[in-house]
Amino acid sequence: MPYPAISRSEARAYLAAKKAEVEVQTPSPRIVEEGQDVDWDSIVPDLLAKVESLVTGDPVKKRGDTRGAAFEIAAGPLMHKALPSHPALGDPDFWTWLALIHGSEVVQWRYESDPNPANFGAGSPGENLLFRIWLRAEVAYLPNGPDPYELVAVGDIDFWRSHIFRQSYADARTFARALLNFQFPASTGRKAKLSIDEIRALAKHLKRARTNLVFELMDVERAGGFIETEWARIASPV
């Protein structure tokens, strides 16, 4: 079969009924006839078993608990290696199926047993926990690097949400990697170059610049040089 999918509206209705303690059947996935045949019934249970092995202790209970961040960093490469290149990965409804049917215990642990429905894929695609974890690895992946997943570990969750995902830099992955290398240069052991206020100012500047430039067409050198130049203009205004 090409791939299974569950709509976000079905997921919302199911989760609302569960929260209200109304008896409800788990949504049945529809099959999307697109892409090559993949044995999802074999790949997914094995993958989720590996991801679940990274879950430690009780659900994260404090905002500052570092287990959630460490879990996402470790899970990203696992998911990226295991999932094949397939049109399913570009369909939010596939990720809803994955999180709701196979990843619910992981989502429950990550969000203190009271997750937002969006974390299961019932809202904005970028809030689906499993999709976000995979996307972080996809964006950071450097196939020719000594450690292809080195950039997965840089930055905190807020950095990735605010300055990568919400800016749609997943659609301009070369530019995203250039931004990651700028903010977390290898020469400093991947320590942050700019302060929180500084990176926010740069992010706003880049967002405005994108209205006139196609970041998706920039190669690594051009993207890196552009970011450096734009920061220089902010840091030393004439």
Distance CA 16, CA 120 (A): 12
- State pLDDT tens for residues 148-189: 999 999 999 999 999 999 888 878 889 999 999 999 999 999
Output the pLDDT for position 175.
94
In whole angstroms, give the CA distance from residue 185 to residue 151. 10
> What is d(CA 194, CA 197) in angstroms, rounded to the nearest whole number?
8
Residue burial 110-129, b: 16+ Cβ < 10 Å; e: rest: bbeeebebbbbbbbebebbb
Domain ranges of the chain: 1-145, 154-238
Query: CA triplet 10, 12, 13: central angle to 5 degrees?
Result: 65
pLDDT tens-digit map of 104-159:
999 999 988 678 999 999 999 889 999 999 999 999 999 887 899 999 999 999 99
What is the residue-averaged pLDDT of the chain?
A: 92
The whole-number pLDDT of residue 237 equals 67
The reported pTM is 0.92
Strand locations in the chain, DSSP E? Answer: 3-5, 30-32
The pLDDT value given to residue 63: 67
Which tens digit of pLDDT belongs to each residue from 179-222? 999 999 999 999 999 999 999 999 999 999 998 889 989 998 99
For 84-105, what is each residue's pLDDT tens digit?
Answer: 999 999 999 999 999 999 999 9
